[in-house]
Amino acid sequence: MADRDERHTLIHEELPKEHDDPLIRVLHLVIRNSIRVLAVLMVLVIVWGVADVVLVLYQRLMTEPAFLLDYNDLFDVFGAFMLVLIAIEIFINIRLYLGSYVIPIQLVMATALMAIARKVIVMDLDDISPHYIFAIAAVVLALGVAYWLVAKKAHRQDY
């Protein structure tokens, strides 16, 4: 297991703390701290997004007829939920990037799948051409197959 962890650490070491050039060391420090700022900002976006979901749901439920949601209201609420979930996934990506020098490929692909799923959920089929729908289907298929392959390889390496 130690060899595997060591191998993963060596795969993506883009921002090492030690470097021969002092300027590069400072630039790496600036980038690592910028990532930390992005993590804090993403948490604020998540909290703001949750507040937005609550507000959207409240507004939709209080509009006459009260406590009834039509399908457009449901799409708006689902879209708001999915945006918050995508923001959480992006935060997890940032946190994992801060915690190691390994890009979490499987998690990045899962985030992309969630984003495209949100697009499909809130898609208004009346305003979209068949070419666009086929393009979205191709992206979903490509991401799904790629995710499956990456997950299969990761599962095989664990054993």
Ordered per-residue pLDDT tens for the chain, 159 residues: 444 444 444 434 666 677 788 888 888 888 888 888 999 999 999 999 999 999 988 988 898 888 888 888 888 888 888 889 889 988 988 887 777 666 678 888 888 998 898 888 888 888 889 999 999 999 999 999 999 999 888 777 766
Indicate yes or no: pTM above 0.75. Answer: no
- pLDDT of 159: 62
Residue 52 CB partners (closer than 8 Å, separation 6+): 80, 84
- CB distance 15 to 28 below 8 Å: yes
Q: How far apart are CA 90 and CA 77, in angstroms?
A: 20
Domain that holds residue 140: 2-158
- pLDDT of 16: 67
SS3 content of the chain, % helix, strand, coil (to 5): 80, 0, 20
- pLDDT of 51: 95
Q: How many domains does the chain have?
A: 1
- pLDDT of 14: 63
- pLDDT of 8: 44
Sequence length of the chain is 159
Burial of 87 (0-12, 13-18, 19+ CB in 10 A): buried
